[in-house]
Structure 1
Amino acid sequence: MEARKIIHVDMDAFYASVEQRDDEKLRGVPVVVAWRGKRSVVCAASYEARKFGIRSAMPAVQAERLCPHAVFVPPDFPRYRAVSKSVREIFLRHTALVEPLSLDEAYLDVTENRTGLSSATQVAQMIREQIRQDVNLTASAGVAPNKFLAKIASDWRKPDGLFVIKPQEAIAFLTPLAVDRLPGVGKVTAKRLAEIGVRTVGDIRKVDIAILQDRFGRYGVRLHELALGVDNNPVEPNRPTQSISAEDTFESDILLNETDEIIKRLAEKVWQASRKESRTARTIVLKLKTAEFSVLSRSQTPASPVASCDELTNIALALREKVRMEPGQRFRLVGVGLANFRDPMVDPPEDLLFQ
């Protein structure tokens, strides 16, 4: 079977770059796209701002401390969506197999492309040039035989870069990488891998798959596959978002009543991510994992979709009251999510159906 040719395109500091493109006074200065306030988080930071350590999803007050002279710009999602649509139209010139991940990144399957170019690398080069010419922005791209490798590759020469991983190069490329370069490996998983002597992707291949499965469940099998460069997930065009969530695993287990600030931060992160969607979420979900690894969730579907971050936060906090556990029960993870996404033009609110 012929290897797939997958491109992952990632716009460079997208929201901040749009702001700098449209306002010449912002060019060359640190720009932070965020609402000001104690509860706000950074939506995007220009590369000038990133030099000060500012990153997406960081609390805005922390960003202000790191770079007091940064210019804060409130996000303009309708404008970003319009630019994203123009970029997507460029993708569709080359293939119908486009899977958007968000407003600023997408997978493309160009195993067969519409422009008759002989290689995926040439397609990626042309796409980046067309984005530069038509939209006046830069994008980075990764080319690889599957989605997982393409996404790693697109980050390899950011900003405004192109990196290619050929099928025969995948194992050698992956071997020295730190395990946290793999999708799903955060600080806690990396720590648990280090406990069995695994610090690089190459180290994973030395561990028996049964040990990985015993320690990490089904994800242990996934780790084994990723370490071998295997990812059979196809590019899925027009796949609608089913849910958006954010979660945090703690270094030390905590009590339920100690989760306030964490839930507020996660709710803000989820709310910001949901602003990228054209569809509306109807259900709010609170997820908890006990110290004994039992997972429980509580959810609520209001009569009308949540209209603000404060409303999302208040509902998530209120969902804790539905958790019935022993007073001393400790938790190792908390998550906040939005689910049950609907198209407001196709699925009107229930209270309008009976008028």
Structure 2
Amino acid sequence: MSEMRVGYAKVPSFYAAVERLDDPGLRARPVLVGGNPDKGGKVQSATHEALEAGVEVGMLCERALALCPGAALCPTNMKRYRELSVLLQTSLRQVTEGIEGDGLAGAYFDIAAGSDHDDDEEDERTFARRMVKAVREDLGLGLRVGVAPVKFLARLAAEESDDDGFRFVANDQVAAFLSVLSPERLPGVGVKTRATLASLKIQTVEQLLKLDPREVENHLGAHGRRILGYARGEDEARIRTAAHRKTLSHEVTFEEPVVKRSAIEPRLAELCQTAEAGLRQQQLCASRVAIKLRYGAGKPETRSRKLVRPIVDAAEIYSAAKRLLDRTEVGQRPVTLLGVALAGLAPPAEIEATAQLDLFS
């Protein structure tokens, strides 16, 4: 009997991998991506050599460089990472149409295991190799793929993949797979939950499951019941697949607040050009444009508008975005974040027939 399984694919250490891709001279060195060490910058990504040296994502870059003195520290380049993310999603969709993106570097996908063969793992391994091959040939990046009965297990399987970048976890393997892992690998286990489990001397999922459920709930409340469910391999989350992206967004954070509109507009134009590249890569149009702003350390604010007709050109996106700027306090208050988002994305054939002509010429 066939069963539905979930796949997860991810480029490990994505930011660092992109930096190595763009600069072959970095391939022989550990790579860190993060902020200025002199300003308290933190590590956002690190290659496996740096991780093995004790570096952790979120650690101060100054500390990371002390642990891994031979590492190259690259400044964060979100524009480039987003460009590669769009290409990654496109490459994955060449292998399987329906995927659910997970951040910039990963995606979930459904697998209908309708094979007549007993060796389902080999079928999935072949499928994974197609994905790995597509991403390597299209982008020059490595990929890890995991297949398991539910979403979070598929992600963990990819993280625990073997030398060829694949890990298969069948229904009857779930308990053994989870038993040796640290509970902090489970969804929902943050700093407080981790501290509570440590106080109970819980180091593995197997040890967690040996506790009386009432004791777990005593310490963690209803959240404890959810954690126990994950420890048993249960996950009700379903994949929200789509043949194409419904939204596309790009943003930039300024190290120093920007007040002058004349300094904001060129960055806005760059974001619009990146957005156009994403639309053209996936052959989509947008019917709504939005901008996102943050003043100082406040909460982000957005302004949006529905378009009279779908657009794809950067000049048209920029024109709409500039009109939205008129509805903000740009030029009067310091801006620390600027973003552009496109929504209502669809192929030309799905929108207005009159708007199809010459969009991709």
The CA distance in 2 between the partners of 1:159 and 1:235, in whole Å, is: 27
1:212 counterpart = 2:224: no
Unpaired runs of 5+ residues, structure 1, are 242-274, 280-302, 316-337
What residue identity is the alignment partner of 2:74?
V
**Partner in structure 2 of residue 167 of structure 1:** 171
**Alpha-carbon deviation of 1:177?**
2.5
| 1:31-90 Cα distance to aligned partner (Å, 9 max, x none) | 222232322111222233334322322212212222334222222222222221121112
| 1:149-188 Cα distance to aligned partner (Å, 9 max, x none) | 1111111137762111011111122223332221222454
- SS of 1:137's partner is coil
**1:64-75 aligned within 5 A:** 64-75=65-76
| 1:92-143 Cα distance to aligned partner (Å, 9 max, x none) | 1233331212111121112279xxx994332222101111121111111111
Contact 2:92/2:135 (8 A) holds in 1: no
Contact 2:6/2:149 (8 A) holds in 1: yes
**Partner in structure 1 of residue 23 of structure 2:** 23
1:306 counterpart = 2:298: no
1:80 counterpart = 2:84: no
Contact 2:3/2:113 (8 A) holds in 1: no
**1:93-112 aligned within 5 A:** 93-111=94-112
Unpaired runs of 5+ residues, structure 2, are 115-119, 249-270, 276-290, 308-319, 329-361
**Partner in structure 1 of residue 229 of structure 2:** 225
The CA distance in 1 between the partners of 2:214 and 2:302, in whole Å, is: 37
**TM-score scaled by structure 1?**
0.64
The CA distance in 1 between the partners of 2:55 and 2:198, in whole Å, is: 28
Contact 2:181/2:204 (8 A) holds in 1: yes
1:10 counterpart = 2:10: yes
- SS of 1:56's partner is coil
The CA distance in 2 between the partners of 1:344 and 1:138, in whole Å, is: 39
The CA distance in 2 between the partners of 1:160 and 1:15, in whole Å, is: 21
The CA distance in 1 between the partners of 2:303 and 2:232, in whole Å, is: 38
Going from structure 1 to structure 2, the CA distance change for 1:228 and 1:29 (only over 3 Å counts) comes to same
What residue identity is the alignment partner of 2:23?
D
Contact 1:38/1:60 (8 A) holds in 2: no
| 1:294-327 Cα distance to aligned partner (Å, 9 max, x none) | xxxxxxxxx97226xxx33xx4xxxxxxxxxxxx
Going from structure 1 to structure 2, the CA distance change for 1:207 and 1:133 (only over 3 Å counts) comes to same
The CA distance in 2 between the partners of 1:132 and 1:34, in whole Å, is: 25
Contact 1:128/1:138 (8 A) holds in 2: yes
**1:74-153 aligned within 5 A:** 74-111=75-112, 119-153=123-157
The CA distance in 2 between the partners of 1:2 and 1:202, in whole Å, is: 29
- SS of 1:83's partner is helix
The CA distance in 1 between the partners of 2:226 and 2:246, in whole Å, is: 22
The CA distance in 2 between the partners of 1:98 and 1:341, in whole Å, is: 27
Going from structure 1 to structure 2, the CA distance change for 1:53 and 1:343 (only over 3 Å counts) comes to farther
| 1:265-307 Cα distance to aligned partner (Å, 9 max, x none) | xxxxxxxxxx9xx99xxxxxxxxxxxxxxxxxxxxxxx97226
Going from structure 1 to structure 2, the CA distance change for 1:129 and 1:189 (only over 3 Å counts) comes to same
The CA distance in 2 between the partners of 1:225 and 1:147, in whole Å, is: 13
**Alpha-carbon deviation of 1:208?**
4.0
1:179 to 173, 177, 183: 183
| 1:320-345 Cα distance to aligned partner (Å, 9 max, x none) | xxxxxxxxxxxxxxxxxx67777799
Going from structure 1 to structure 2, the CA distance change for 1:30 and 1:195 (only over 3 Å counts) comes to closer
**Alpha-carbon deviation of 1:216?**
1.5
Q: Percent identity?
A: 28
**Alpha-carbon deviation of 1:200?**
2.5
**1:252-271 aligned within 5 A:** none
| 1:208-252 Cα distance to aligned partner (Å, 9 max, x none) | 4344333322211211211211112011235879xxxxxxxxxxx
Contact 2:145/2:158 (8 A) holds in 1: yes
Going from structure 1 to structure 2, the CA distance change for 1:176 and 1:19 (only over 3 Å counts) comes to closer
Going from structure 1 to structure 2, the CA distance change for 1:345 and 1:52 (only over 3 Å counts) comes to farther
Moved more, 215-224 or 162-171: 215-224
What residue identity is the alignment partner of 1:67?
C
Going from structure 1 to structure 2, the CA distance change for 1:60 and 1:160 (only over 3 Å counts) comes to farther
Contact 1:182/1:226 (8 A) holds in 2: yes
**Alpha-carbon deviation of 1:21?**
1.8
> Number of residues paired by the alignment?
267
**Based on CA coordinates, which of the two structures has the bigger radius of gyration?**
2
Contact 2:292/2:302 (8 A) holds in 1: no
- SS of 1:43's partner is strand
Root mean square deviation, CA, Å: 3.6
